[in-house]
């Protein structure tokens, strides 16, 4: 089938055969399918959707466009987590070493931030010497030594995804659940996983702002991943306020190390992190639901997870004493100042996206993939919804470089906060979708 005939079938809302999808994606990589044809296909999918079978076929074709890693020589299960992105979402920094301490191997391939959401790789770039793009040999050695390694996508994993995403980004077709599904899962399947847990955010700081849209994405991801042979579950988690009390790269690393060592653990962050870890332990068969939760709590409380984190950082080129001396290594902004409340009341709502864009305005995030970022800036000591404040009380601290930066960061932060007489209750984990179909 010619590319234009394939596009016409989707344009006319006719079913696509798996073999034709595979040929079209292969053509995208070898150049026999043009960017214009790929854009036309993406727009046809945007308007006409794809069946579950078509989504599975697209995901597998994109996985097979490059190298697929093989971890079959490891003595334990291989798993990972994917988050749809949020503000103060540093879960990966704790989840990978907690799971490693439970006997799960975690070769985590992460991304950089764009827009209001922070990127896991940008956080690790705060650590001097840490290599986010190691060769495959170092990646494998680190996974074997630490039980986990958090790195960036290599050029030979799912190259079709990079090509198609770049086209979607400039053709207004990013917000398509079938294409989002294939983009996320093709990379995870190429990583050679046996199990996956998805953290699908919902709320004011989420890509999908309503529970209905978040559930649709979660169910698509779970059904397609399992249809492609990857045992997968999902938690839908609240992003109506920053998850951690810090937002900004080095600040979130500090928050994560404090979490792992028990120095400070944000309550909501702890619950989401442990719930995701327990789900993976359950999915991989290393424990029942009750046993899994106890296992991950013990891995954290015993210090075993912190030890795994330290081994990973050292193996990937970072300081071997990073946990003990993180403040000597992490970049710090030259100025820190409180942002205070302008009225008495209760924090009744937060525009979480607005908080994230405040970090971007400080220089700590990107509006374009090519932007450089300042790892030192951001907010910490962020208070959440439901906290009672009086005029002059601290809402957060801002870490900044210039007075103009402070003025803008304060303006954005105050604008993001609503102070009222009462606060709504947002369930932290409103839905759970496991491979068996349990809700």
Q: Show which residues are catalytic.
A: 80-83, 120, 168, 183, 187-188
Strands 148-152 and 195-202: what pairing? unpaired
Reading the block at residue 227, the tokens are: 């249809």
Number of Cβ within a 10 Å radius of residue 414: 17
Terminal alpha carbon distance of the chain: 41
* E-state strands within 94-209: 106-110, 148-152, 195-202
368 secondary structure, DSSP code: S
User: Quick check: 374 and 365 in contact, CB under 8 A?
Assistant: no
Say which residue the tokens 């006997």 belong to.
103
User: Quick check: 182 and 55 in contact, CB under 8 A?
Assistant: yes
User: Quick check: 91 and 199 in contact, CB under 8 A?
Assistant: yes
CB-hemisphere CA count at 13 Å for 220? 24
Say which residue the tokens 């690393």 belong to.
253
Work out the burial of residue 184: count CB atoms within 10 Å of its CB; fewer than 13 is exposed, 13-18 middle, 19 or more buried. buried
- Kindly calculate the radius of gyration of the chain based on its CA atoms and give it in whole angstroms: 22
Residue 16 DSSP SS3: coil
Pick from 98, 80, 192, 91: nearest CA to 136: 192
Residue 108 DSSP SS3: strand
Pick from 8, 61, 22, 334: nearest CA to 185: 61
How far, in Å, CA of 113 to CA of 375, rounded?
12
**C-alpha dihedral, 155 to 157 to 161 to 166, nearest 10°:** -10
Contacts of 63 (CB under 8 A, 6+ apart): 158, 185, 186, 189, 190, 228
Say which residue the tokens 């079709």 belong to.
160
Pick from 242, 253, 244: nearest CA to 123: 253
Pick from 75, 116, 111, 69: nearest CA to 92: 111
């Amino acid at each position: 089938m010619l590319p234009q005939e394939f596009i016409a079938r989707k344009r006319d809302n006719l079913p696509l055969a798996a073999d034709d999808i595979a040929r079209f994606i292969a053509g995208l990589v070898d150049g026999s399918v043009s960017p214009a044809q790929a854009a036309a296909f993406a727009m046809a999918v945007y308007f006409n959707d794809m069946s579950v079978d078509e989504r599975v076929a697209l995901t597998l074709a994109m996985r097979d466009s490059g190298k697929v890693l093989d971890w079959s020589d490891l003595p334990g299960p291989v798993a990972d987590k994917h988050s749809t992105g949020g503000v103060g979402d540093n879960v990966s920094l704790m989840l990978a070493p907690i799971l490693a301490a439970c006997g799960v191997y975690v070769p985590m391939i992460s991304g950089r931030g764009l827009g209001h959401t922070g990127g896991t790789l940008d956080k690790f770039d705060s650590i001097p010497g840490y290599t986010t793009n190691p060769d495959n040999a170092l990646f494998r050695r680190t996974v074997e030594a630490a039980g986990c390694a958090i790195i960036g996508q290599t050029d030979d994993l799912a190259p079709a995804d990079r090509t198609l995403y770049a086209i979607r980004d400039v053709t207004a077709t990013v917000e398509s659940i079938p294409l989002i599904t294939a983009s996320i899962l093709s990379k995870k399947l190429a990583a050679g996983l046996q199990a996956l847990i998805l953290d699908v955010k919902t709320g004011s700081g989420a890509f999908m702002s309503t529970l209905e849209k978040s559930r649709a994405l979660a169910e698509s991801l779970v059904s397609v991943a399992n249809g492609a042979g990857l045992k997968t579950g999902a938690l839908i988690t609240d992003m109506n306020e920053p998850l951690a009390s810090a937002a900004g790269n080095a600040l979130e690393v500090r928050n994560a190390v404090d979490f792992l060592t028990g120095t400070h653990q944000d309550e909501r962050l702890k619950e989401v992190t442990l719930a995701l870890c327990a789900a993976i332990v359950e999915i991989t068969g290393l424990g029942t639901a009750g046993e899994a939760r106890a296992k991950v709590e013990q891995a954290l409380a015993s210090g075993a997870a912190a030890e795994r984190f330290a081994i990973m950082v050292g193996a990937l080129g970072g300081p071997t004493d990073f946990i003990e001396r993180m403040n000597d290594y992490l970049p710090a902004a030259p100025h820190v100042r409180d942002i205070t409340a302008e009225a008495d009341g209760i924090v009744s709502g937060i525009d979480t996206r607005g908080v994230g864009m405040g970090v971007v305005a400080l220089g700590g995030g990107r509006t374009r993939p090519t932007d450089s970022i300042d790892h030192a800036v951001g907010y910490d000591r962020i208070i959440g919804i439901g906290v009672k404040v009086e005029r002059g009380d601290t809402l957060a601290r801002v870490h900044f470089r210039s007075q103009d930066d402070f003025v803008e960061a304060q303006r954005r932060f105050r604008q993001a906060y609503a102070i009222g007489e009462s606060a709504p209750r947002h369930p932290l984990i409103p839905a759970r979708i496991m491979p068996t179909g349990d809700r």
